[in-house]
Amino acid sequence: MTTPHRSVEAVPARNTLAPSRRTVVKAAAAGAVLAGPLAAALPARAATAAPVFGHGVASGDPLPDGVLLWTRVTPVPEALPGSGIGPDTEVGWTVARDKGFTDVVATGSTTATAATDHTVKADIRGLKPGTDYWFRFTSGGTGSPVARTRTAPAADAAVTGLRFGVVSCANWEAGYFSPYRHLAARGDLDAWLHLGDYIYEYGTGEYGTRGTVVRPHSPTHEILTLADYRTRHATYKTDPDLQALHLAAPVIAIWDDHEFADNAWSGGAANHTEGAEGAWTDRQAAAKQAYFEWMPVRPAVAGTTYRRLRFGKLADLSLLDLRSFRSQQAANASGSVDDPDRTLTGRAQLDWLKAGLKASDTKWRLVGNSVMISPFAVGALSADLLRPLAKLLGLPREGIAVNTDQWDGYTDDRRELLAHLKANAIGNTVFLTGDIHMAWANDVPYDAGTYPLSASAATEFVVTSLTSDNLDDIVKVPQGTVSAVAAPVIQAANRHVHWVDTDRHGYGVLDITAERAQMDFYVTSDRTNPQATSAWARSYRTRSGTQKMERTYTPV
């Protein structure tokens, strides 16, 4: 029997930031390539034609009683993303228990305006937990594609299993997004996690693609203004494989640096020149506004992406924002990475994370983490030699870090968090990470210098990039060449690393039961081929109560 229809209050519009500066194009490392207008991605139509849903539909942030729905309507041909023009347009939505919409459970409407780039969000509540739903939007007689979503289990539900797709680092210019297509085709996902770098900010040809731009960005210049960020998000949302995955399951997303600019921190970024490219505060605000307009994500604390979702008694998921509050990265791997005044998380977020992990009563504590928390050092000495040398020479106490943009560059935050896990006997903590363009299966040791004789605090699964350059792409050698040499060296210097693949692109599938958390790592055949195939590479799991990683030979 059809339940009474419900409506929701439209998400308030945010104020449009008027561009206050002209775009300054940085020198392109690989030469500039002109992109076609974004309008080419939308169907050609007359000025009087009906509205178009050219950027797909999506859902996200599932709760036991609801989910956030998203779309973007193009009301008239000239109302292109980022244009700031176009009429107010009514957009309706319908939610049903079946794909044929014979059992409608909720309807409503809101108004899409230029103030939010004609994007629409509807936060639907009153749904049943752990249930599949289908939804669509309509405007001016035009209907959107039909999408599936799924609510989270009830907070007290005895959930037998959960399955999430896990992805990161999708560079439009480097290739096609076939991992999204392969995840969409599974049909068994409760949700999918995007761990950052959903878009990239660079101008055409400025970021590694083995010297070849597979498909040019729009706009072609580095994005700086609100209009720029909106246009770039819109470009990505025209990808058919990304649209397919958004149609198949709800997304749970956090941002990393490239939603803003390379190596972003609270006061700037490596890829931002203050003054010549305007004020960082303006650019950061524009990037955040466009992100929340174009992504099915609920703004959390102070307009950031840190928040927590629960999936019955089986797992909760703490999602981090490791860009909004961090101190500037250390210039090099010096003792400054140990400075207790430097922070990756910010005080409030770290306290929130610690409190949530301690209070958790679920079987598993998952942490959505945009940069690797496991130590990654080269030539690490044993702890008994390292600590006195570090004190004398001003070196990091945990070895010479390779990447100070990761938790390695903020060791005081990491020590405090891991000490909190130990002091409170918090087990079954699993970090889920992107960013580094490699696949890893790691233990997270309390003391890397004495591991494996000392204990592990948690485990970490790191997924590789969808398309962004791996090490073999950077040095332009055949796939697998670098990993064959680098992986043994990395593992010899980092004994908590069980596996690392430095060379292949792909995605992960996380499968959780009460007994174990398992990541199946998949690789794609060719990022430059829109029909790239997918193959299982490896699987690792951590058993409940162990805080240790082990290889398994059977994907789920």
Report which of 318, 338, 200 is spatially closest to residue 264, judged by C-alpha positions: 200
Q: Are 15 and 115 in contact (CB under 8 A)?
A: yes
For CA atoms 207, 211, 214, 218, give the dihedral sign: positive
Q: Are 93 and 122 in contact (CB under 8 A)?
A: yes
pLDDT at res. 399: 59
For residue 4, being part of any structural domain is answered with no
Q: How far apart are CA 44 and CA 556, in angstroms?
A: 43
* DSSP, res 38: G
Q: How far apart are CA 69 and CA 149, in angstroms?
A: 9
For residue 212, being part of any structural domain is answered with yes
* DSSP, res 289: H
For residue 522, being part of any structural domain is answered with yes
Q: pLDDT 10s per residue in the chain (556 long)?
A: 333 333 333 333 333 333 332 222 222 222 222 233 344 444 444 445 679 999 999 999 999 999 999 999 999 999 999 999 999 999 999 999 999 999 999 999 999 999 999 999 999 999 999 999 999 999 999 999 999 999 999 999 999 999 999 999 999 999 999 999 999 999 999 999 999 999 999 999 999 788 899 999 999 999 999 999 999 999 999 999 999 999 999 999 999 999 999 999 999 999 999 999 999 999 999 999 999 999 999 977 778 999 999 999 999 999 999 999 999 999 865 668 889 999 999 999 999 999 999 999 999 999 999 999 999 886 544 444 445 444 544 545 565 566 899 999 999 999 999 999 999 999 999 999 999 999 999 999 999 989 999 999 999 999 999 999 998 888 888 898 888 888 888 898 899 999 999 999 999 999 999 999 999 999 999 999 999 999 999 999 999 999 999 999 999 9
pLDDT at res. 166: 98
Percent of the chain as helix, strand, coil, to the nearest 5: 20, 25, 55
For residue 216, being part of any structural domain is answered with yes
User: Residue 304 contacts by C-beta under 8 Å, 6 or more apart in sequence?
Assistant: 321, 324, 325, 349
pLDDT at res. 490: 86
Q: Are 477 and 485 in contact (CB under 8 A)?
A: no
pLDDT at res. 495: 93
pLDDT at res. 397: 59
Q: Into how many domains does the chain fold?
A: 1
Three-state SS across 507-549? EEEEEECCCEEEEEEEEECCCCCCCCCEEEEEEEEEECCCCCE
Q: How many other C-beta atoms can be found within 10 angstroms of the C-beta atom of residue 544?
A: 14
Q: In this structure, what is the dihedral angle of CA atoms 338, 343, 344, 345, given to the nearest 10 degrees?
A: 140
Q: How far apart are CA 467 and CA 469, in angstroms?
A: 6
Spacing of C-alpha 66 from chain mean position: 21
For residue 109, being part of any structural domain is answered with yes
For residue 7, being part of any structural domain is answered with no
Q: Please, which residues bridge with residue 193 across strands? A: 166, 252
For residue 305, being part of any structural domain is answered with yes
For CA atoms 538, 239, 94, 15, give the dihedral sign: positive
pLDDT at res. 288: 97
For residue 6, being part of any structural domain is answered with no
Domain that holds residue 375: 38-552
For CA atoms 319, 321, 322, 327, give the dihedral sign: negative
Question: What CATH number does residue 186 fall under?
Answer: 3.60.21.70
Three-state SS across 136-200? EEEECCEECCCEEEECCCCCCCCCCCEEEEEECCCCHHHCCCHHHHHHHHHCCCCEEEECCCCCC
pTM of the model as a whole: 0.89
pLDDT at res. 476: 85
Q: Are 55 and 70 in contact (CB under 8 A)?
A: no
